Structure 1
């Protein structure tokens, strides 16, 4: 998998997760951010990405369950936490890890892509022209 493929898989998974919820107003924090992963800098990269929206007035526990069910359908290992707010955490599948938080004032999905061969510094240089 290329660095671009890893980034695309992360963004697609996060945004598809948002689509399973009856929530409007999703906004991304910015473009996916590349970073080094693994023991040696410049050999492997991964991406982080976040997506947030104002929470609906509905059942946050039910929304957490919808997200958990969707992530399980992707082959991910999923854990639901009910306190202090309903939250879902997952690993595996098309990404390294994801979280969904129903914090007061904000629904938030964040994730980290798989770790793939690449050099974060070089990718940043290319992206910044």
Structure 2
């Protein structure tokens, strides 16, 4: 149980209203989002390396193409998807992992969306008009 307590202490506290939410949203707000924030720099470093390895120049694309490229990478390129998800799942407590497994499909879908959003927010700068 000591590992679980240490993991929970590492996480940033987010001011999110988790009352009156679906179980999936509650899990996202109390587990996924704090871990994503904690692991932000590592996730960015991993994705940056992926872009370099695949010779993908996001900066030469428009915002729409950048978003599609990020989505396709996370949804269709299984090695990068599994690496990024592993960075998050590896920070679960045993109880969180049990919850994740009990609703794996829905929570993986939610985690995929959160990863795409975090990477998009980081890599895509809004077009200045």
Does TM-score exceed 0.5, indicating one fold?
Answer: no
Q: With a CA cutoff of 8 Å and minimum separation of 6, indicate the structure with the bigger relative contact order.
A: 2
* TM-score normalised to structure 1 length: 0.29
Q: Whose strand fraction is larger, Structure 1's or Structure 2's?
A: 1
Q: Whose helix fraction is larger, Structure 1's or Structure 2's?
A: 2
